[in-house]
Structure 1
Amino acid sequence: MEKPSGKVTVREATIDLLRRLDMTTVFGNPGSTELPFLSNWPNDFRYVLGLQEASVVAMADGYARATGRAAFCNLHSAAGVGHALGSVFTAFRNQAPLVISAGQQARSLLPLQPFLGATEAANFPKPYVKWSCEPARAEDVPAALAQAYYIAMQRPRGPTFVSVPMDDWDRETLQTVPRTVSQDSAPDPMLIDKLAATLQKAKRPVIVIGPEIDDEGAADQAVTLAEALGAPVWVSPFSSRASFPELHPNFAGFLPAAPQAISATLSEYDVVVVLGAPVFTFHVVGDCPLFRGDVSLFQITGDGAAAAASPIGTGIVGSVRLSLAALLQQLPVGKRNTTLTPRPRDIPLARDPIPAAYLLHAIAKSMPADTILVEEAPSHRPLMHRYLPIATPGNFFTMASGGLGYGLPAAVGVALARPGRRVVCLIGDGSLMYSIQALWTAAQLKLPVSVIVINNSGYGAMRSFMQTLNVQSTPGIDLPGIDPARIAEGFECSAARVTEAAGLEKALAEALSQNGPSLLDVIVDPDVPKLY
């Protein structure tokens, strides 16, 4: 790469750096402290405007995960970063590579506690960014952004943060030359040998699949391993991506985030291989006898902290893609028969009010095969797993954090990352209200995003947990008086509401065939099943 010479402004050096790093799509919501950066915006850059900073970060998150590249996000000073923190937390849990910049008041004003000034700006988003700084000198801004990019892209990937005082952009500096920095680490060969030897002796091996498999594009390797071992494959609790084809005969199902249930499932096997996931993600308390058993467990992950946190087993830290390549070289090639019994796929009955199961079954029948699904309907996720299987890895995204507000703006980011593909955003009515303004961006950009609202007039997950925790009555659960279709029309988005099963098929067909975005509000039975 040709080395630039001579001095340029910090802004010019930054624009050149972003261009060379392929970060010419910038997600933002501007304020006064960002104007010097945005002045004379280059024609080859795309600025994606979101109407609230949490949505801006979630859009960038969806875009980064769908492209596999770091996304650049520009926020407004302290208040804007504060608005965005929920989505920053989600991006951290999603391992989404983001470079987040935020404006800061002029350096000359900072000692005077100025309006919009951020106190300890670099510490504000911690601990949910991998790295953050406010450069000591204006001249250091481009180099800091380059460092933020390399750290964001190293596994485990995640968001980074750079605060830039507004008077830095016109200062002179030298251009920053992009470098090649490795993103993956190789596994310990001795531990791979140990795992291969253990698997060759195993009588009842099982595989647990997590989101790192999809992130690294290693789903085909996971299928090859499962077939070679004749092993059933379970998906890790709250996996935020689809990493194994759910119609494959070795696919066993989804592990719940409950200690006793996980223990009961995995205790049936003599060797457990966890690929690209934390070993145990719990959502409720309980005893896990597996911790005291004699099961042999191996975890392969690029996340050293996740490996260190596991209470049992052997942790192999390194790229799952590189690890599987090394492991498969030592295992017999071919398919071993498995005794897995295919899961029954019943057809839910149509009735009124519309059962959520029937809606999900109808969506599965209506969606084109290459549709990408972005989901944020926590109370209906077990039903989604049952009636809306994801046949192709790479076509499903949700949040790993449990924080609401991700789904709709993430769907916008995914649609921008995968042009020409239909994106379905499956979302609850409670979740929708966290980030409804993202519909405006979808409408302005005419994105093929079909938003399907599972409207049970409340926070369904809370209704479910009331059963789990044996809570009889609480305030703040019901959400009457919300009409998502009318709100969507206010954003100039095509919208409709369905209240009867008889009209569902036609409404879905129309929602999935719009040239731009659409919203379909489906009123469903408010009863939700117990999650655990």
Structure 2
Amino acid sequence: MPTDTSNRPTVREAFLRLMRDLGIDTVFGNPGSTELPMFRDFPKDFRYVLGLQESVVVGMADGYAQATRNASMVNLHSAAGVGHAMGNIFTAFRNQTPMIVTAGQQARSILPFDPFLSASQATELPRPYVKWAIEPARAEDVPLALLRAYQIAMQAPCGPVFISIPADDWDRHTDWVPVRQVSHTVSPDPAMLAQLVQALDRSQRPAFVVGAGVDRDDAVNAVVALAERHQAAVYTAPMSARCGFPEKHRLFSGFLPAMRERIVEALAGHDLVVVLGAPAFSYHVEGQGPHVPVGTDLWQVVDDPQVAAWTPAGTGILSSVHLAVAALLAAPAPTTPRTTPEPRRQAPQAEPSMPMSVAFVLQTLDAARGPDDVVVEEAPGSRGVMQACLPMRGSDSFYTMASGGLGHGMPAAIGVALGRQKLGLPGRVIALIGDGSSLYAIQALFTASKLKLPISFIILNNQRYAALQDFAPVFGYAPGDKPEGTDLEGLDFVALAKGHGLPGQRVDRPEVLRHALESALTHPGPCLIELVVA
């Protein structure tokens, strides 16, 4: 007997209503033919943000989700489009960004014939860098898949999920799907937390190591209070993708390098190290010896059970950072008297030169930026200088990629700007990008121009892949011996900006730098400034 569909919604109607109920009204996409049915009669209160390449689309959605702290919605083309996007899907996975990635699929009726633009084994393509992937068995199950995908994406540890949707599913009839309340946090084990309280109380010289999880859980201010209570030195974990502690605070002691021996050296003298919201520790090169100084007690608070499982030493507490820190603050104040840690040594004032040094450029930028401005960075060759010369203020002030994959920063800046705009937050987004990095996602300038977003794209042009040249000696290169393919000469970033609809300026003299930066940071819409540096 046929089913009466007169009072039942289509898959499209149920899907869009559920998006509304989940607080998702923006779709980031680069459309293809198999996605067109999703957007027929697209609601006027929804926004479609066009990116010119699929990896750019995912990067924008990553920044938007991080800024709004809600899952973002991405729509990609089947197979090839997902393949193009995989670099930034990998970054979203490492960033622990909640993101729902949908991709079109050919119509179910012709899938047995391996049709053009179909995705064979569609759910396998984005793995292992999505938390969950599905192509629903029936068209009627697509809205239910969306609800499950949202809950999984938002559950700690957050991350991207994937839904493959055949093109003929959208007009089928289904049922409305109500939103269910699900906890997305992890509570700490009370017994283990009590042991950590005792360890903190006994410690004479504690240290905290903070990672991106502190800011993701909106726990920066609570961690500041905890550090002040214990007079603990605070370090940023290696490769941290967000700011977990105000970098001008008297207790901030600097950034740990991604090298085992140097981490041990930096933490020497601390009898207790508590890692909050980060792996302990992320390494970039091989190392030898202990992972922490001999005799130092290591504790880790992290919401990812996989990270807790591979941590090579110490005691782990599986918990959302804000819940664990709140519980530690609720414990009795410590009784052990402590001295205030030595203040972090500040970088010397850089002098003007020709060509300009990165330190001079970033110290000038620090003086010119506003108190509410946000930095989205992808200049790995200049990151050490940035950490010394451009201190971040704390919560929601800094974003970069945790993966090491290039092509994230420029589109992420757009997503962060859109997210802050949605929340009504003040300030401008400063996209601090290396010349080499920018070329992985230069198409992002088109979207920034089209949406007239308050973003200043600052390109540090040193005419090379600096990170590779500077890192080459670690792999046996002689001093001054450059790896092949690492020079980038003759690029015109002002012309590239103009071609995408943005005003641009090239600065190569120190005496005009401050005025040029102030103009770029107060421009009413997006702009690009190319800084020629040593």
Question: Common fold, TM-score beyond 0.5?
Answer: yes
Partner of 1:99: 100
Partner of 2:197: 196
Partner of 1:389: 391
Partner of 2:249: 248
Partner of 2:3: none
What is the CA-CA distance between 1:328 and the residue it aligns to? Answer: 1.5
Partner of 1:260: 261
Moved runs in structure 1, 4+ residues, more than 6 A?
none
- Secondary structure at the aligned position of 1:203 is classed as coil
- Deviation per CA, 1:228-267, whole angstroms, max 9, x where unpaired? 1111000000100001000110000000001110111223
- Secondary structure at the aligned position of 2:15 is classed as helix
Question: Given the alignment of the two structures, is residue 469 of structure 1 paired with residue 471 of structure 2, yes or no?
Answer: no
Distance in 1 between residues matched to 2:523 and 2:292, nearest whole Å:
51
CA contact (8 A) 1:379 1:464 kept: yes
In the TM superposition, what are the counterparts of 1:11-160 in structure 2 within 5 Å? 11-160=12-161
Partner of 2:443: 437
Question: Given the alignment of the two structures, is residue 517 of structure 1 paired with residue 526 of structure 2, yes or no?
Answer: yes
Output the amino acid matched with 2:252: F
CA contact (8 A) 1:291 1:311 kept: no
Output the amino acid matched with 2:59: A
What is the CA-CA distance between 1:510 and the residue it aligns to? Answer: 1.3
- Secondary structure at the aligned position of 2:291 is classed as helix
Output the amino acid matched with 1:396: F
Give aligned pairs, total.
521
Distance in 2 between residues matched to 1:483 and 1:292, nearest whole Å:
49
Distance in 1 between residues matched to 2:293 and 2:113, nearest whole Å:
59
CA contact (8 A) 1:375 1:398 kept: yes
CA contact (8 A) 1:78 1:117 kept: yes
- Secondary structure at the aligned position of 1:74 is classed as strand
Range that drifts further, 77-86 or 479-488: 479-488
Question: Given the alignment of the two structures, is residue 185 of structure 1 paired with residue 186 of structure 2, yes or no?
Answer: yes
CA contact (8 A) 2:263 2:292 kept: no
Aligned pair in 2 of structure 1 residues 378, 331: CA closer, same or farther (>3 Å)?
farther
Distance in 1 between residues matched to 2:332 and 2:222, nearest whole Å:
12
Q: Gaps spanning 5+ residues in structure 1: where? A: 526-532
Partner of 2:488: 479
Partner of 1:229: 230
CA contact (8 A) 1:227 1:336 kept: no
What is the CA-CA distance between 1:458 and the residue it aligns to? Answer: 1.3
Distance in 2 between residues matched to 1:316 and 1:496, nearest whole Å:
50
Candidates 460, 463, 466, aligned match of 2:466: 460
Output the amino acid matched with 1:517: P
Output the amino acid matched with 1:439: L
Partner of 1:528: none
Distance in 1 between residues matched to 2:308 and 2:442, nearest whole Å:
37
Distance in 2 between residues matched to 1:50 and 1:500, nearest whole Å:
34
- TM-score after normalising by structure 1: 0.96
Output the amino acid matched with 2:435: D
- Secondary structure at the aligned position of 2:323 is classed as helix
CA contact (8 A) 1:301 1:319 kept: yes
Partner of 2:454: 448
- Secondary structure at the aligned position of 1:345 is classed as coil
Question: Given the alignment of the two structures, is residue 496 of structure 1 paired with residue 505 of structure 2, yes or no?
Answer: yes
Output the amino acid matched with 2:138: R
Aligned pair in 2 of structure 1 residues 6, 178: CA closer, same or farther (>3 Å)?
farther
Range that drifts further, 234-243 or 282-291: 282-291
What is the CA-CA distance between 1:352 and the residue it aligns to? Answer: 0.3
Partner of 1:530: none
Q: Gaps spanning 5+ residues in structure 2: where? A: 1-5
Output the amino acid matched with 2:427: R
- Deviation per CA, 1:246-296, whole angstroms, max 9, x where unpaired? 011000000000111011122321111000100010001111423583321
- Secondary structure at the aligned position of 1:453 is classed as strand
Distance in 2 between residues matched to 1:200 and 1:224, nearest whole Å:
16
Aligned pair in 2 of structure 1 residues 291, 423: CA closer, same or farther (>3 Å)?
closer
What is the CA-CA distance between 1:333 and the residue it aligns to? Answer: 7.2
What is the CA-CA distance between 1:513 and the residue it aligns to? Answer: 1.2
Distance in 2 between residues matched to 1:113 and 1:341, nearest whole Å:
65
Range that drifts further, 498-507 or 41-50: 498-507
- Secondary structure at the aligned position of 1:221 is classed as helix
- Secondary structure at the aligned position of 1:7 is classed as coil
Distance in 1 between residues matched to 2:301 and 2:382, nearest whole Å:
30
Partner of 1:422: 428
What is the CA-CA distance between 1:159 and the residue it aligns to? Answer: 0.2
Output the amino acid matched with 1:125: P
Distance in 2 between residues matched to 1:337 and 1:294, nearest whole Å:
20
In the TM superposition, what are the counterparts of 1:361-376 in structure 2 within 5 Å? 361-376=363-378
CA contact (8 A) 1:272 1:298 kept: yes
CA contact (8 A) 1:498 1:523 kept: yes
Distance in 2 between residues matched to 1:290 and 1:45, nearest whole Å:
50
- Secondary structure at the aligned position of 1:156 is classed as coil
Question: Given the alignment of the two structures, is residue 402 of structure 1 paired with residue 411 of structure 2, yes or no?
Answer: no
- Secondary structure at the aligned position of 1:521 is classed as strand
Candidates 503, 514, 519, aligned match of 1:505: 514
CA contact (8 A) 1:155 1:184 kept: yes
What is the CA-CA distance between 1:336 and the residue it aligns to? Answer: 5.5
- Deviation per CA, 1:141-177, whole angstroms, max 9, x where unpaired? 0000110000000010000000000000001101111
Distance in 2 between residues matched to 1:9 and 1:115, nearest whole Å:
26
CA contact (8 A) 1:228 1:336 kept: no
The CA RMSD measured in Å over matched residues stands at: 1.4
Partner of 2:362: 360
Distance in 1 between residues matched to 2:482 and 2:385, nearest whole Å:
25
CA contact (8 A) 2:267 2:292 kept: no
